[in-house]
Every structure is written in C-alpha cells, then in structure tokens.
Amino acid sequence: MSETRSAGRTMSEQANIPARIEAKPFESPTDDVMRGAARWEIKCLDHGFIALVDAMPRLVPHGQTADSAIVQAARVSYGQGTKQVHEDRGLIRYLMRHRHTTPFEMLEFKFHIAMPIFVARQWIRHRTANVNEYSARYSILPDRFYRPTLESVRKQSASNRQGGEETFKVDAAADEAKTAQDFLEYLSRAEALYQDYLGLTEHGVSRELARTGLPVSVYTEWYWKCDLHNILRFLGLRMDPHAQLEIREYAQAMHDLVAPVVPLTMEAWRDYEMDSVRLTRLEVEALRSSIKGGAAAPITEGNKREQAEWAAKARAFGLEPLPKT
C-alpha cells in the first residue's frame, strides 16, 4: 500500500502512529462511493442546498456499492453464506422486509445543508443525528431569506390544522390574488429587519441578542450526520405527501443523493416501506371477510422466499395463491 510523502516523512510518521498498530492493506481494489468527488450537491428552494460531503464506508470493493457494508454487518450473524450480488440483494430485501434494522445502522452519511430556520426546526425533531449548526452568536447571518413565488403561496388546509394544501388562484378571484400578494409584502417587511440587525451589531449590540428580531425565514446552515436506518426513517416521514412542501424538497434531494450509494437498500425501502401499505387488525378482518374464497395473483418479484411469504399472507386473507407462471 502506497503512502503519501510530505517533507520527507510518510503520513504514518507524521501522525505518530504507534508501532504496535498493524496497517493492513485492502484485500482487493476499491472504489470511492462518491466517485472521487469532494461533495455532491443539489439546490433546494430559492437559496438553499443539501450536499453529501462524506459517507461511511467511503471505499468499497471494486464493482460494489455501499450496500456491501450492510451485507458484511449482517453476516456477523448470518455467517459468510451469500457472496453473489443477487444473493446480497436478497439478503438486504429480507432484512428490510423483516425490520432487522441493525445492519443498516452500520452506514453513515454526512450532509452540509442550508435551509430556512422554520425548516430546520422541523428537521431537528429527528433526534437521531449528530448536528452542528451555524452559530449566529459568533457570526453574522447572511442576507438570505426564503420567499415563495406568488403562485406557490398556500392556503390553510381545511382538514389538517398544521398543513397547507391548495394555492391561491392569483390569476382568478381578485381577493385571492390580493391575499397572496399581501403575504409576500408581509415577508418583505420582515426581511427589512435585516438592515436593523446589521446596524445594531455595528453599534455594539451583541450578535446573540441582535439575531432575536430576525424572522424564521432567514437561512441557517448545519452539518448533519446520521446512520442509514434513521435516514430512511427521516425520508419516510418527510417525503410523505402530508409533510410540509419545503422540507419535502430537501427530503427528496437527500433521497436522490443517497440512492446511488446504496441502490439495493433504496429499492428494498421503496418496496417495503415508502410505497407499501400497512393494515390494522380491523382492516385485515374487513378485507378477509370481503375477499374470502378468491384467488391471489403472484407477485412480480422472482425471489422464492418472497413468493412463499406472499402465499402465506394470501392464505391469511382467505385467498388461494396462484402459482407464478
């Protein structure tokens, strides 16, 4: 294994690594899961972004993805057994389907994110990550505020007290157009406080106090590091159509950054979590009464274990599973 030399000394010598530590080389060539990039970044909202800046593992066996680390962790319990990619896929799907979450906690992702403070306050509710936020006690907040377009100003939902649904019809009823415009002017007045904020700090008011007058539409930044299992929990909640539109945009971007690194896991997550439906006991009983004696079409997945599990579920509903042709 080659070592980078600087000023005539190896990295190991510079780091003063104790002699008793044995540095073992990789057993085979490796690939960088981020393709050698310093960061992958996606723009969000008007001034925001989410960037993947690191992942663990960063290096994986050549030709594989970081999904291999999940399989590696699982094999501590399951034994060496499966080695082929299609077998790795089957194991990952089994783990996801049966909610064996520990192997997914072995992977971590670190993001750099810029978002409005009101989005950050929703985000921080997920208490499973390591977070370090930009400090407005030490530094002046940049002049960046979130402002939706006139066409995207939303009305309060009639059925959900904490959400907004349809937008104001700005090209139709005059009252609706005026209300949407009034909202943007309200934001303008709030943003104008930024000049007062700057002036007061320049005249000696402490930054930690001066910031208290700024609106929650101002942008903040943080580094957010989380294991894959809890990232999937975050995505399941924040990509849901009931989540606030602004945080959904960040969640979708996070999904798109993670998916190339662990494609097998994200496929299984979509199949068994995001795009699945869970039934209560009462719903199961109602369905069983409605469909008893019918036939269940086979699932499209070719994995024999999944086919057998579906057959067992079909019989629980009183259905006769049809064989896969």
Q: Please, what sign has the CA dihedral across residues 304, 305, 307, 312?
A: positive
Domain boundaries, the chain: 28-141+222-276, 147-213, 280-325
Query: What pLDDT is attached to residue 308?
Result: 83
Structure confidence by residue, pLDDT tens digits, 230-261: 999 999 999 999 999 999 999 999 999 999 99
pTM: 0.86
- Catalytic residue list: 238
CA distance 88 to 309: 19
Tell me how far apart the 2 most distant CA atoms of the chain are, in Å.
Answer: 80
- Per DSSP, the chain holds a count of helices (H) and strands (E) of 12, 13
Query: How many other C-beta atoms lie within 10 A of the C-beta of residue 34?
Result: 18
Residue 62, CA distances (Å) to 59, 111, 136, 162 in order: 9, 24, 44, 47
Structure confidence by residue, pLDDT tens digits, 155-173: 988 777 677 778 988 876 6
Q: Domain 28-141+222-276, what architecture?
A: 2-Layer Sandwich (3.30)
Looking up tokens 């580094």 gives 223
Q: What is the mean pLDDT of each run of 10 residues along the chain (325 residues)?
A: 47 73 91 98 98 97 95 73 68 94 97 98 96 96 96 85 79 80 96 97 97 97 98 97 95 98 98 88 75 74 80 79 70
Structure confidence by residue, pLDDT tens digits, 21-49: 998 999 899 999 999 999 999 999 999 99
Report which secondary-structure segment, H or E, holds 270: none
Please give the sequence-ordered ranges of beta strands (E in DSSP) within the chain, or none if there are none: 5-6, 9-10, 30-32, 40-44, 48-56, 59-61, 108-116, 130-133, 154-156, 164-167, 219-227, 295-296, 320-321
Query: What pLDDT is attached to residue 325?
Result: 65
Amino acid at 98: H
3-state secondary structure 7-25: CCEEHHHHCCCCCCCCCCC
